[in-house]
Every structure is written in C-alpha cells, then in structure tokens.
Copies of this chain bind each other. A is one copy, B any other.
Amino acid sequence: MSQRTELESLGEFGLIDRLNPKEYRKAKNSSTLFSIGDDAACLEYRDKIVLVSTDALAEGVHFDMVYTPLKHLGYKACVTNFSDIYAMNGEPKQITVSLSVSNRYSVEALEELYSGIYLACDRYGVDLVGGDTTSSAGGMFISITVIGEADKDRVVYRNGAKVHDLICLSGDLGGAYAGLLVLQREKAAFMANPKVQPQLTDYEYVISRQLKPEARKDIIRFFRSKDIIPTSMIDISDGLASEALHICRNSETGCEIYIDRIPIDIKTSNTFEEFKILADTGALNGGEDYELLFTIDQKDYDKIKDEANIHIIGHITDASSGCQLVTPQNTTIELKAQGWNHYRKQTDN
C-alpha cells in the first residue's frame, strides 16, 4: 500500500462514506428495505423466522497480524458468522460490522479489510446494513452480527438428536488447526531471523483452511433439494469432540463416533505428522474448520449415502451409554473435549 491516510483526517462520517461506498449499498435481498444511512436498518421477514448471531474476533487472540492479510481477515470474520446461520438450517441475509481499531491502522488498511467483507457478502448473497467504527486504545477488534432467515418448520437446533440417528459431517477436519501450526512455526522462524523466507509451498491447503475458510451454504441447499431436515446441527468452530458433546448434552443422548470414519485430508495428516500430532487427535480437537456436524433419521440414509461431501461418522445412543469414540480395534474411549479456550491460549502464549 503506497498511500497512507490517517483515520483522524476523515472523521466518522467521512470514514463511513469511504468504507461503505454507494455502489455497495444496493440490496441483494428483498428482506433488506433500508440499509446504511439512518439510526437503524429496516428489514422485513414476514412468515420467516429471523435468526441472529454475533461473533467477535480480537487481534492477538483470534488472529495474528504477522500472517493474516486484512482482506482474508474481513472475509473470515463474515464466513464464521454465516456458518452459525447455516448451522440452524437457515440462510444469512444481513450483517452489521462493529470495528474498533487503533490509529496504527490507516484508512487504506480498513479499506483492505472491507474488501474482504464485501467479497464474502457478494459470494454468500448478504447485505451489509450497518455498523460502527471506532478507535481503540490498542489492537483491532471486529464484532459481526449476522441476521438470517429460515422457514419455521425447517429450523434445526442442537437438541433434536434421537437414538439411532446417524451422525454426519460435511467436508474434512483438522485442516484449519494444521494451517495454524504451520503459520506459527514460520512466524517463529521469521522472528528468529527476518531474512528467512517462509516455507509455505507444500501447505496451501491447510493454510487456506485457516486463513480463508468457507461456510457450508452448499450443504444447506443440498438439504433443501433432497427434502432433508436434520434432527440436530451445529457448526465446527471449537473442534468435533466439543461440538458432538454439545449435541448430545442438548439432546440428552449419548453417541458412538468411529475414529476411522473421521474424514481427514492427506495434506492435513501429513502436516500433523510433521508436528508429531496424532491426526485423529488433531481432527477431534482442532477448531475453526466451520464444517457442519448434524444428525439425520435413518430413513434419510439413502438420500445422503452417495454425497461425496457428507460422511457418516457414527450414530446417536441413549444417554446412559455416554459419548464414546470407537477405535478400529472396536474398543471404546470416552469422548472428551479439549476444545478451544481463547482465555487460556492467551495466557499460554
């Protein structure tokens, strides 16, 4: 970036105009009646259910500026929010973006961040309808609220899983965590010797899983096309183990998950091997994959069995059986969440 415009040179309204240019204010959704430019945005949802979710990302906790391009950060901040709406079997329609940045960031840097936000909004058909940008004492903090819709009889909660339901998963797991390990290693090497070129060529897949995740809009569309309503669903932000336990606790059931059925890409398992991490462990506890974990009634088995993007990894049992991992040797291990504790992570680092 050759130019640097200081934030204070624009003022609040100048900044709003610069970050939300008129050409982006045209609504993509009929539910968006009035967007930026008044005290509140006006939406109309009629017979649809309105879904609302908020997720925040903090510098130094959820992202590291050393290896996170701003455009990717804006994109990821949106996609992680969209994922929460898909996890209810809904479609995201609007977002508001709340941003706090120190004067260390220029207007051009925020434009770069917003270019990622607009790209995500374009790809997922979402309108940016409001927000607030303010200065901070230090670092960057992004909070996005997403508003979406679902048909009333198609909303899927975490609490509807029933005994004998099949446990299914979209995509593959562990990639985002593997990518984070690579980025942290290269950062450490760079800090020790800034002349070292980062070695990233063999890691495109896992790095893109970390820096530029996608939300599973395609799976929600697939459900609609096949007339499937999952009995429960959650997105994988904190790791499969943690999310499976959420479904079982909320549904008052147990589960059996077959370790050798957990889908792991070969590039992910190769990376874990380098870091001397068991691939299963990485896939069970690594976060930020934004895949969908869901349960379906066995009667829907035929509808999904040929879908390459969906893997059946286990089934729901009664609560008294507990939550179990089944090994290839057919022994069981109790499922525990090591999970993702950002508070603890910050203390550790």
Residue A278 CB within 8 A of the other chain: no
Using A52-B96, A342-B12, A346-B103 as known contacts, say yes or no to A40 and B138 having CB atoms under 8 A apart: no
Point out the residues of chain B lying under 8 angstroms from A39, CB to CB: 53, 83-85, 87-88, 158, 233-235
Using A38-B158, A88-B42 as known contacts, say yes or no to A100 and B141 having CB atoms under 8 A apart: yes
Give the number of chain A interface residues (Cβ < 8 Å): 79
Say how far A156's CB is from chain B's closest CB, in angstroms.
9
Point out the residues of chain B lying under 8 angstroms from A11, CB to CB: 339, 341, 343-344
Residue A59 CB within 8 A of the other chain: yes
Point out the residues of chain B lying under 8 angstroms from A84, CB to CB: 39-40
Using A49-B33, A84-B39, A103-B343 as known contacts, say yes or no to A55 and B132 having CB atoms under 8 A apart: yes
* Contact of A136 (CB < 8 Å), options: B61, B87, B157: B61
Point out the residues of chain B lying under 8 angstroms from A141, CB to CB: 100, 136, 141
Q: At the interface with chain B, which of A111-119, A142-150, A261-269?
A: A142-150
Point out the residues of chain B lying under 8 angstroms from A33, CB to CB: 49
Point out the residues of chain B lying under 8 angstroms from A99, CB to CB: 56
Say how far A216's CB is from chain B's closest CB, in angstroms.
12
* A–B pairs, 26, beta carbons within 8 Å: A11-B343, A11-B344, A12-B340, A37-B250, A38-B157, A39-B233, A40-B52, A40-B84, A40-B87, A40-B88, A41-B53, A42-B155, A43-B50, A43-B51, A50-B147, A52-B129, A52-B147, A53-B96, A54-B98, A56-B100, A61-B135, A61-B136, A100-B141, A103-B346, A143-B143, A145-B145
- Which residues does A use to contact B, with CB under 8 Å? 7-8, 10-12, 33-34, 37-47, 49-62, 83-85, 87-88, 90, 94, 96-100, 103, 129-132, 134-139, 141, 143, 145-148, 150, 152, 155, 157-159, 233-235, 250, 339-344, 346-347
